[in-house]
Amino acid sequence: MRTRQLAWRRLTAWLVDWLCILILPAVLVPIGLLVHSAGVDVPGWVLNLGAFLILIVPVTCWLAWCESGPHQATPGKRLRGLRVVGRLGERATFGRTLVRNSLKVALPWELGHTVAYGFAAGSEGAWLTVLTILTYGVLLAWLWSILLPRTPYDVLSGTQVITAPAR
């Protein structure tokens, strides 16, 4: 399959997956708003850590579980006829798909949260500027890399995305 067609399938698969993922924030945000409206004052670093533990970690693990499971694909990848395999085409292990999704999802998401909490808290300094540039750099690199035969997070995790044979 041509790289551009595969990139389009991967991108649309990711959009489907995010529709599934958004269920969790849709449940958690109202809870956070209730806590905030009750006057509970929580430091930004605690909010960031909490978001990481109750949002980013479960989503990352769910994606890894889907990609290492029997279908070797997230719901979006299944819908678009894709699956994740190891370097040699074998079934990818949970460890490999966890590394893959930690680099692909958890890293940029947590960087984005850290930047957002930093700005919301009125933080200043070079660290926030550097982190903001790093966050956008990672996001743009990951988006651009879907046009390559293998993304950096696939190379680093020893995985690849292939078209799924008819079952």
Q: What is the pLDDT along the chain (167 residues), one digit of tens a residue?
A: 577 888 899 999 999 999 999 999 999 889 888 888 898 888 888 888 999 999 999 999 999 999 999 999 999 999 999 999 999 999 999 999 999 999 999 999 999 999 998 998 888 889 999 999 999 999 999 888 888 888 999 999 999 999 986 55
Tokens of 29: 């945000």
Can you tell me the distance from the alpha carbon of 54 to that of 25, in angstroms, rounded to the nearest whole number? 10
Nearest to 161 by CA among 150, 152, 148: 150
> What pLDDT is attached to residue 1?
57
> What pLDDT is attached to residue 93?
98
Domain enclosing residue 40, as ranges: 3-163
> What pLDDT is attached to residue 148?
85
**Residues across the chain:** 167
> What pLDDT is attached to residue 144?
87
DSSP state of 165: P
Question: Could you tell me if 104 and 150 are in contact, meaning their C-beta atoms sit under 8 angstroms apart?
Answer: no
Question: Could you tell me if 77 and 84 are in contact, meaning their C-beta atoms sit under 8 angstroms apart?
Answer: yes
Residue reference for tokens 């850290």:
114
Count of domains forming the chain: 1
CA torsion, ordered 46, 51, 52, 58, to nearest 10 deg: 140
